[in-house]
Structure formats: C-alpha cells, structure tokens
C-alpha cells in the first residue's frame, strides 16, 4: 500500500504528502499556557489556559467543511492567483507539498511554479505567541512580488457563550488596529454573567514585517456568501482597515513581499495573548507592545525555536531505547511520550473530535499522570496535590474537576475514581523516593458546594480514607458498589437501584491495598501495613467466592445480584478488564489467570487491530427494551476494541511471562501498524497517536479508529511498553529491570534518568555469561537496581543477561 506519509525518525517527524486524508491528523503546539492544535491542512484552534473559558479562535468540530477554520495563510501572486502553503483553505493545486508534524512544531512546505513557501507553526516556552514563521523562496531569475495574508477567526472566548448566545454577546467586543504596536488587538468583554471573564486575555495578531492593510471582522474579510476559500479581501488585494465593535471578530493582515531572484524572504505572523485585558487595561496593551517588540527583534524567533526543541529533548531524553524493531522504537522514543504529555495537559477535553468542554476527568487525570510521573515527577506531583485536594472527607472523589475554570466539581460517584489517586501516589514516590509527600497537609473538598475546601489532613490520611470509603460501600457479595459506574462508564446500567457491584473495582481495590501496604512499610508503619494486608485478604476472598465463571472472571453483579459477564448470558458473556486486572491484582491461581487470558485470546482478540472490550455486543432500542447502552454493536463501550483496556491485557501477559502474546497485543495497536493492517480509508486516524477505540467486528465500519489523541490509551501504552514489556519499572526502593523480551530479540539498550542518575541499561541474551543483573560489573542479588547504589551518581551502567530461551528472567 502506498501511504501518504512517512516517518523521519532521526528528526522525530512524520511527513505527510497528501493533505486529503480521511480525517484531520493534528499536532498540539503549546507552552503550557497558550495552546493550539493544527492539522496537516492548516485547520486548528488556539486557546489560552482553558478551551472552555478562553478559546481564542474558532474551529467547527462537527460541521462541514471538516477541519476548518484554522491558521490560514494566503499567498497572492501578481496575476491574482492565490494559494496556501497549508493547501487549505484555497485548495489551489500545488506542484509539491508536504506537512510535517514534530513534537511541538508543524511545518508546511509548498511549491507552486518558481515559488516555494515554508510555514512553521509553534509556541515556545515562556512566550505566549503562536508563531507563524514564513519563508518564501524564489527559484526564478527575476524578482517576484507577492502579497501574503494571514487570517484567523476569533472565538468569543467563553465557548458556551459563543455557541449559545453569540447573537447578543458578539456585540460586547472590540477589535482594533493598534498603530503603536502595529497589531490587531482583540478584547472580549462580556463578563456580565461570568466573573471569570474579568481575567480574559488581550489577543493580538501582528506581523514582523510592515503591513499594507488589516481587517478585524470576519465578514468584511470574507465577503457575502463566500468562505475562507475565496475571501473578497484577498481577491481585491486589500483588507478594509476598519475596526470591529460588534460582529464576528477576526484578524487579517496583508504583508507585501518582494522576493529577490534566487533568494528568499522571511517574516512572521504572531498570534499572541497578554493577561488581564479588562482589569489591567492599558497595562495589557503596553505588555503586548513590549512582547511584540521583543518578538520582532532579529534572532528572537530562532532562539525561541531552539528553546522549544531543547524543552522536548529534555522531556524525551528521560527514557530512550535502541530496539531491534523500528516501528516499536519510534513509539517508545517519540510518539508515546509526546502523546502522553498532551493527555496530561488536556485530559479528554480538546482535539479535532472533542469539543473542549470536559475539563479534567478525575480518574482520567490520575492515569495520565502515571506516565508523567516518571518523566516529569515535579509536574505530576503538582497535579497530584490538586487531585488530592478534590477528595471529600468521606474518602470519595469527584468525577470531574476544573482547576483552571474553578467551577464546582462534578460530584457523581464512580466507584473507581479514588482508587487511581492512590496508584498515582505510589507511582510518584517510586520515581522520586520521597516519602515526605505523604506528610503534606492537603484540604478536603467541601461537599456543600463541591468547590471550596474544609479542614485538611495529611496526604497519607487522604489515601487511607479511600479504603474507609470502599469498605463503607460494599454490596451483598462484599464487592464495591458501582454507584454511577466504575472505570467503565456504561456499567452503571447494572446499578441503577444502587445495588450493583463491580468485580473490576474489587480487583483494583486489591491492587491499591498492595500499594498502600508497601507505602506503609516504607514509612515503617507495620500496624497499618498489617491492617491493609488484612483488608486485601478479605477483598481477595470476596472475589474468589463469586468471581470465577469457569473459563474467565465475571465482570459485575447487577442490582438483582445476577452475574454480568457469564457464559450463559446472551450478550456480554466475557469482558476484558476483569481478566487482565486479575493478573495485575494477583488474585486467583496462576492456572485461573492463564485460563482467563487464554479466553481473551480465543474470544476477544480480533487478531487484526486489537482486543474487544466485551463480546457479544449488546443489542439496543428498539429491539431490546432495557438495553445496556445506546451504543450500536461494535461501537464505544459496546464491543469496540477499547484501546485503553488493551494496555492492561498487554501488562497482564507480560506479568504472566508470556512475551509473544504480550508483544502481539502491543504491536497490533501501534497506530502505524494498525493503520496499515486495516487500510487508511477505513482506519482514518493518525499513525502516530493512539485512539480511544476502534470499531469492532460486529459493525460494518469495523476498523475505524475513533476519538484520537485524547485517550487514556496514551499514558498506559507508554507504561505498558516501558515498564512491563521493556520492564524498566520504578519501585519504592529502586529500579526493576525485568523485561518480557520477544523470543526473537537478541536484546536492547535503554538510557533512563532515575533519581538524578543517568543509567545505561543493556539487556542481552547470552548462554555464555551468567544470567542476572549487574551494576557497573557487580552482580546484584535481585533484578532491582537499589536506589541507594545510585545516590549522588550522575551515571551508571547496568547489564542484564538473559538465557537464550523463551523463559523470561
Ligand atoms: C472514556 C472516559 C473514561 C472511561 C472510559 C470507559 O475513555 O474518558 O473515564 O473510563 O471511557 O468508560
């Protein structure tokens, strides 16, 4: 199959050679405050801090034409012919074109006749500007004059106001050309119903080169019954130069360029923000003038670009591997940690599919932070503190919370939510070794308003309170009550009367009790550790008493005490998650768990593009009157290949020591490989980012990869491959090196920064050397490099020798 893209791994780039993909393939550009995403065709949107409250530009997710609008550049030649380096929106045929996504930067290179345009979009650390770095080269032997227009359509910042109330509130704004700063300056000031808007930013659009004309109004720029493809201002070669004091705000700038023969002309557009447009006017405008003066200083843009690549190198260098399989190495070294950083920033909130209203899912963010814990422990710790501050005194945690928007948390109980925060505590402390985190005082969330705080307690008290909450919420089988759901949102269907119980949450609880007992022992608190062990034994016994179905683990018990996920059921006989988590929680005999995972292989693995979440899919209305869910068969939670849940199957097989199965499950979801297997037109999504789910075999759209980019799959795939397949896993007292090596791999090497020490780890199969792990030539008694051996050392070398056989170490 000829694919319209290729990877350039040395440059950590994907190069896309045809913009007409089945759906937008996006890249996130961000410095942590100012954010944007951009597609291979220049579609995209920008926001400052919150896509809900401070959305800077518009993007119509669900409408035609898809993937628009965006960050649009028009190159108008002297004869009026106009084209875009992003191909869209003008769509003029080009002689050569490509788009490249790299971590934090997207580049377009387009050629038409003698002209070649390069456009790079990025946001650098510390400077709140989306920089459009444009260079136009002239390959002819005569000078060429062109006019370059940059255009962006603004949003009314508060996105719900923009979608619901624009007819009124769009007259609460001001877009003007500031002659001192030579920029379009946009202030939205509808703060009447929303006090947060007093914080709203000043948005500016500027160029580094002199501008010939400007526009502040979408409709004036585009013209009657036209669209971004053929704006009247570009056709006429002049913008209207009028402010917009009501209407649909936008910014356009015209930059005339003369490109000398055989040479190139370079300049930038800057889409920037400054804080407090309203409460600190005109200081905000002053700040904008200073920022723009700095951005326009020669050398600044190149410095910013260099600081962006240094930032990413720092993030990625924490774990780098040399592997015998390049498709896997590319995921491990670049695209998995890139995506898991994005999900750490955006949770499930915003992408080309996700509208940007969802803020932070509590458990989602806990899981996203698991992958940040080993690369950026300080950042994960900061988010951990916030998440703990969202716990109620009874031990439960909300379902959604809003650190930036400062809206009340969504208090609905999904039984699993608090469990994940304990896993995060364990992951962070395993990485840092710093138990003092457990002694920090953190307030409780006030149940009266789900927003303010009451009292406070140590982190350790918060974590133990989770066990109190679960113990107070056990059902008739002594398993945790589901309430509104567990990890699986739709499972709440079986618990509408409040009695349904979750076997999956029970396994997670057992897993978490193990983590908490280990933390208690690390604190030398043996009585608490013993109490937690006893709870673990009690919950394990409850699972064993009712959970085994004969060839797999059941999934839940409904309100009437009937098992869900049982061989006699018509639909949903077997569910994936309880098979994998039984291994993770180490509940049941090895034979039971191997049998359960064999059932997964027989009944749930498509052997094509992943493992289904359950089978057979449930039927829904109108055929079935009280359906499990409205999802069509094979979609979403109803029999799709739920990629997030696949990650735990990979981990389970790795823990069972079955490398071929574990790597088979991993490989079949590597996006680039899944896309090739399924076919581009059917798979549709990015070959460099995981999706939430892939439509399952019971649906005619089998193979369509859905909800890309913002998925829990990102973090867990990163953990599955680095910590369980390659097996380099932080633990409270050191770094475990326990790979689950594919039978045909001779070995691999990894560079891993751990507790301040850069470890060079080599894993080698050999029958000529004694098996086992050594550090700087000295044999270690177990496969764990003790943290104490690394103290104050900038670097060290570890070697793991594995026998040449399929038996894992
Ligand atoms: C979505 C939700 C996540 C949930 C999962 C399964 O990914 O974001 O919170 O656990 O679906 O229901």
- Residue 281 has what pLDDT? 83
C-alpha 361 to ligand 1 mean position (Å): 9
C-alpha 750 to ligand 1 mean position (Å): 32
Residue in the structure block whose two tokens are 């898991």: 340
Query: According to DSSP H, which parts of 113-206 are helical?
Result: 159-164, 166-169
Q: Which of 358, 360, 361 to mutate to test the pocket of ligand 1 (most atoms within 8 A of CB)?
A: 361
Structure tokens at 578: 């309880």
**Enclosing H/E stretch for 46:** strand 44-48
Q: Could you report the per-residue pLDDT of 113-154, keeping only the tens digit for each?
A: 999 999 999 999 999 999 999 999 999 999 999 999 999 999
Could you tell me what percent of the chain has a pLDDT over 70?
A: 98
Q: Is the pLDDT of residue 484 over 90?
A: yes
Structure tokens at 736: 């475990």
Nearest ligand 1 atom to alpha carbon 489:
12
**C-beta of 274 in contact with ligand 1 (< 6 A):** no
Nearest ligand 1 atom to alpha carbon 642:
6
Structure tokens at 88: 């869209």
Strand residues in 139-241 grouped as ranges (E):
144-157, 173-178, 183-188, 202-207, 213-217
- CA angle in degrees (0–180, nearest 5) for 239-241-244: 110
Q: Could you report the per-residue pLDDT of 334-374, keeping only the tens digit for each?
A: 999 999 999 999 999 999 999 999 889 999 999 999 999 99
Q: Is the pLDDT of residue 463 over 60?
A: yes
C-alpha 573 to ligand 1 mean position (Å): 21
C-alpha 482 to ligand 1 mean position (Å): 15
Mean pLDDT of the chain: 96
Q: Which residues, at least 6 apart from 438, have a Cβ–Cβ distance to it below 8 Å?
A: 425, 429, 458, 459, 460, 463, 519, 523
Beta-sheet pairing, 264-274 with 82-83: unpaired
**C-beta of 361 in contact with ligand 1 (< 6 A):** yes
Average pLDDT value for residue range 489-506: 97
**pTM for the whole thing?**
0.97
3-state secondary structure of 38: strand
Q: Which of 487, 504, 641, 716 to mutate to test the pocket of ligand 1 (most atoms within 8 A of CB)?
A: 487
**C-beta of 364 in contact with ligand 1 (< 6 A):** yes
- Residue 278 has what pLDDT? 82
Residue in the structure block whose two tokens are 């910013």: 304
Whose CA is closest to 642, among 689, 582, 577, 719? 577
**C-beta of 501 in contact with ligand 1 (< 6 A):** no
C-alpha 625 to ligand 1 mean position (Å): 25
Distance CA 98, CA 110 (A): 7
C-alpha 340 to ligand 1 mean position (Å): 16
Tell which phi-psi region holds residue 446, choosing left (phi > 0), alpha (psi between -120 and 50) or beta.
Answer: beta
C-alpha R_g of the chain: 28
Residue 556 phi/psi, 5-degree rounding, is -170, 175
Q: Could you report the per-residue pLDDT of 177-209, keeping only the tens digit for each?
A: 999 999 999 999 877 666 666 778 999 999 999
- CA angle in degrees (0–180, nearest 5) for 737-742-745: 90
Closest residue by CA, ligand 1 atom 9: 364
CB of 326 within 8 A of CB of 334? Answer: no
Burial of 201 (0-12, 13-18, 19+ CB in 10 A): buried
Tell me the torsion sign for CA atoms 552, 557, 563, 565. negative
Q: Is the pLDDT of residue 764 over 60?
A: yes
CA-to-CA dists, residue 658 to 163, 649, 651, angstroms: 51, 11, 10
Q: Could you report the per-residue pLDDT of 652-709, keeping only the tens digit for each?
A: 999 999 999 999 999 999 999 999 999 999 999 999 999 999 999 999 999 999 999 9
**C-beta of 692 in contact with ligand 1 (< 6 A):** yes
- Residue 405 has what pLDDT? 86
Beta-sheet pairing, 772-775 with 115-123: unpaired
Average pLDDT value for residue range 556-581: 98
Q: Which residues, at least 6 apart from 48, have a Cβ–Cβ distance to it below 8 Å?
A: 33, 34, 35, 54, 56, 128, 201, 203, 273
Q: Helices 526-546 and 503-522: crossing angle, nearest 10°?
A: 160
Q: How many helices (H) and strands (E) does the chain have?
A: 21, 40
Q: Which residues, at least 6 apart from 613, have a Cβ–Cβ distance to it below 8 Å?
A: 488, 575, 576, 577, 604, 637, 639, 640, 641, 642, 645, 693
Structure tokens at 448: 């009266």
Q: Is the pLDDT of residue 448 over 90?
A: yes
Distance CA 526, CA 559 (A): 38
Beta-sheet pairing, 144-157 with 249-259: antiparallel
CB of 114 within 8 A of CB of 138? Answer: yes
- Residue 809 has what pLDDT? 44
The gap from C-alpha 546 to its chain's centroid, in whole angstroms, comes to: 37
Nearest ligand 1 atom to alpha carbon 361:
9
- Residue 197 has what pLDDT? 65
- Residue 648 has what pLDDT? 99
Tell me the torsion sign for CA atoms 630, 631, 637, 639. positive
Structure tokens at 298: 């020669």
C-alpha 419 to ligand 1 mean position (Å): 15
**C-beta of 39 in contact with ligand 1 (< 6 A):** no
Query: According to DSSP H, which parts of 88-182 are helical?
Result: 159-164, 166-169
Whose CA is closest to 726, among 743, 744, 750? 750
CB of 494 within 8 A of CB of 572? Answer: no
**C-beta of 47 in contact with ligand 1 (< 6 A):** no
C-beta neighbour count of 589 within 10 angstroms: 10
DSSP state of 480: B
Whose CA is closest to 410, among 360, 368, 375? 360
Distance CA 321, CA 726 (A): 9
C-alpha 731 to ligand 1 mean position (Å): 27
Q: Is the pLDDT of residue 331 over 50?
A: yes
- Residue 194 has what pLDDT? 62
- Residue 193 has what pLDDT? 61
Q: Could you report the per-residue pLDDT of 250-287, keeping only the tens digit for each?
A: 999 999 999 999 999 999 999 999 998 888 888 999 99
Q: Which of 423, 693, 712, 713 to mutate to test the pocket of ligand 1 (most atoms within 8 A of CB)?
A: 712
């Amino acid at each position: 199959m000829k694919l319209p893209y290729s990877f350039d791994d040395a440059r950590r780039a994907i190069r896309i050679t045809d913009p007409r993909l089945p759906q937008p393939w996006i890249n996130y550009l961000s410095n942590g405050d100012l954010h944007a995403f951009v597609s291979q065709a220049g579609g995209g949107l920008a926001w400052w801090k919150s896509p809900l409250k401070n959305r800077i530009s518009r993007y119509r997710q669900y409408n035609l034409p898809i993937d628009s609008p965006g960050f649009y550049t028009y190159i108008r030649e002297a004869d009026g012919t106009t084209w875009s380096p992003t191909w869209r929106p003008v769509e003029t045929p080009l002689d050569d074109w490509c788009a490249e996504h790299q971590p934090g930067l997207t580049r377009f290179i387009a050629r038409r006749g003698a002209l070649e345009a390069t456009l790079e979009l990025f946001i650098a650390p510390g400077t709140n500007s989306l920089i459009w770095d444009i260079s136009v080269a002239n390959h002819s032997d005569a000078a060429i004059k062109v006019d370059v227009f940059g255009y962006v359509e603004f949003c009314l910042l508060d996105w719900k106001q923009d979608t619901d109330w624009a007819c009124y509130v769009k007259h609460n704004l001001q877009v003007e050309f500031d002659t001192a700063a030579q920029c379009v300056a946009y202030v939205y000031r509808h703060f009447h119903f929303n006090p947060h808007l007093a914080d709203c930013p000043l948005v500016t659009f500027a160029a580094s080169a002199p501008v010939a004309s400007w526009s502040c109004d979408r409709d004036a720029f585009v013209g009657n019954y036209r669209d971004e493809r053929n704006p009247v201002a570009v056709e006429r070669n002049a913008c209207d130069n009028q402010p917009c004091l009501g209407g649909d705000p936008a910014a356009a700038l015209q930059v005339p360029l003369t490109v000398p023969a055989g040479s190139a002309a370079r300049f930038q557009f800057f889409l920037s923000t400054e804080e407090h447009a309203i409460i600190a006017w005109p200081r905000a405008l002053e700040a904008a003038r200073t920022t723009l003066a700095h951005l326009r200083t020669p050398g600044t843009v190149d410095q910013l670009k260099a600081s962006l690549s240094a930032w990413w190198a720092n993030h990625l260098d924490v774990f780098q591997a040399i592997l015998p399989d390049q498709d896997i190495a590319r995921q491990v070294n670049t695209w998995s940690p890139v995506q898991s950083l994005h999900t750490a920033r955006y949770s499930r909130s915003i992408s080309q599919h996700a509208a940007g209203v969802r803020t932070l899912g509590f458990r989602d963010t806990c899981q996203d932070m698991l992958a940040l814990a080993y690369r950026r422990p300080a950042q994960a710790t900061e988010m951990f503190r916030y998440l703990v501050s969202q716990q109620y005194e009874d031990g439960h945690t909300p379902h959604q919370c809003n650190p930036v928007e400062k809206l009340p948390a969504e208090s609905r109980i999904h039984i699993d939510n608090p469990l994940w925060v304990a896993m995060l505590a364990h992951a962070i402390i395993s990485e840092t070794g710093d138990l003092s985190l457990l002694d920090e005082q953190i307030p409780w969330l006030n149940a009266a308003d789900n927003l303010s705080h009451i009292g406070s307690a140590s982190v350790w008290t918060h974590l133990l309170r989770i066990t109190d909450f679960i113990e107070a919420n056990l059902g008739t089988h002594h398993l945790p009550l589901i309430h509104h759901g567990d990890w699986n949102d739709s499972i709440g269907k079986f618990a509408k009367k409040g009695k349904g119980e979750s076997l999956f949450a029970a396994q997670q609880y057992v897993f978490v009790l193990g983590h908490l007992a280990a933390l208690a022992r690390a604190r030398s608190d043996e009585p608490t550790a013993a109490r937690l062990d006893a709870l673990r034994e009690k919950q394990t016994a409850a699972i064993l008493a009712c959970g085994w179905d004969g060839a797999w683990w059941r999934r839940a018990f409904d309100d009437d005490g009937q098992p869900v996920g049982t061989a006699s059921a018509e639909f949903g006989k077997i569910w994936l998650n309880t098979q994998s988590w039984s291994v993770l929680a180490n509940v049941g005999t090895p034979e039971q768990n191997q049998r359960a995972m064999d059932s997964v292989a027989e009944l749930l693995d498509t052997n094509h593009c992943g493992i289904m979440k359950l089978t057979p899919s449930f039927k829904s209305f109108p055929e079935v009157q009280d359906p499990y869910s409205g999802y069509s068969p094979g979609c979403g939670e109803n029999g799709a290949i739920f990629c997030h849940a696949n990650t735990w199957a990979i981990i389970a097989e790795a823990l069972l020591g079955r490398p071929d199965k574990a790597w088979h499950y991993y490989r079949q979801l590597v996006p680039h490989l899944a896309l090739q297997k399924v076919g581009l037109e059917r798979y549709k999504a990015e070959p460099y980012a995981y999706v939430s789910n892939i439509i399952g075999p019971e649906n005619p759209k089998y193979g369509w990869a859905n909800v890309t980019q913002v998925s829990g799959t990102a973090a867990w795939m990163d953990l599955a491959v680095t910590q369980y397949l390659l097996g380099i896993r932080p633990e409270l007292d050191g770094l475990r090196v326990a790979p689950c090596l594919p039978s045909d791999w001779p070995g691999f090497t990894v560079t891993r920064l751990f507790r301040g020490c850069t470890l060079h780890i080599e894993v080698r199969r050999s029958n000529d050397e004694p098996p086992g792990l050594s550090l700087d030539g000295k044999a270690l008694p177990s496969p764990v490099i003790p943290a104490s051996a690394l103290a104050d050392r900038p670097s060290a070398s570890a070697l793991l020798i594995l026998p040449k056989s399929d038996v894992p170490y």
